[in-house]
């Protein structure tokens, strides 16, 4: 099973940026930990970070036919990007949106996610651990989809 982890703008500054909100871990450290727990479960992760909306749209489009699901933190684009929302809807892959902070506890402009409507579910407010929760949830969903597809195949073969 292959999962793309897509990180939006300013997440490359984790560990430096507003540590009182986002914590002390760098993006590299978060990815290292995530990779370790993924590989224990036979899951391969592909990491991507960009500060540019179009590059994130391109990366989402590339996911079609190459990965089984997406973990995405669109960061500030969460609240503004119809293009990212549309890209997620276009590829229609199982997707978990993750936010390190609890966006519902913050400024009003952060309390609306435009992109979430194109995701399977959202995890928000559990710090970097949210990525692990996202991985567990997504692995479960993908396994369920694979099991249903397998059962349908066997049914058709009868």
Report the interface residues with ligand DQA, using CB under 6 A.
10, 73, 75-76, 78, 99-101, 103, 110
Cβ nearer to ligand DQA, comparing 1 with 12: 12
Cβ nearer to ligand DQA, comparing 34 with 100: 100
What span, in angstroms and rounded, lies between the C-alpha atoms of 115 and 133? 19
Cβ nearer to ligand DQA, comparing 2 with 126: 126
Q: How far is CA 45 from its chain centroid? A: 11
Q: Which tokens belong to 76?
A: 């500030």
Q: 123 - beta bridge partners?
A: 98
Residues tagged active-site? 22, 99
Q: Which tokens belong to 34?
A: 């995530």
Minimum CB–partner distance for residue 86 and ligand DQA (Å): 19
CA-based nearest residue to 71, from 13, 112, 22, 115: 115
Minimum CB–partner distance for residue 157 and ligand DQA (Å): 45
Cβ nearer to ligand DQA, comparing 68 with 78: 78
Minimum CB–partner distance for residue 101 and ligand DQA (Å): 3
CA distances from 108 to 79, 95, 103, 138 (A): 10, 25, 9, 28
Q: How many CA atoms does the CB half-sphere of 71 hold within 13 Å?
A: 32
């Amino acid at each position: 099973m292959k999962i793309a982890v897509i990180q939006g703008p300013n997440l490359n500054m984790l560990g430096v940026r507003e540590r009182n909100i986002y914590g002390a871990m760098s993006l590299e450290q978060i990815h290292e930990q995530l990779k370790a727990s993924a590989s224990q479960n036979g899951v391969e992760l592909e990491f991507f970070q960009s500060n540019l909306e179009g590059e994130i749209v391109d990366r989402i489009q590339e996911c079609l036919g190459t990965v089984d699901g997406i973990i995405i933190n669109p960061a500030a684009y969460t609240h503004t990007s119809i293009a990212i929302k549309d890209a997620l809807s276009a590829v229609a892959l199982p997707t978990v949106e993750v936010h390190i902070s609890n966006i519902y506890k913050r400024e009003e402009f952060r309390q609306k996610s435009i992109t979430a409507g194109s995701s399977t579910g959202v995890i928000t407010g559990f710090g970097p651990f949210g990525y692990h929760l996202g991985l567990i949830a997504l692995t479960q969903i993908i396994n369920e989809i694979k099991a249903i597809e397998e059962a349908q195949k066997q049914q058709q073969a009868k």
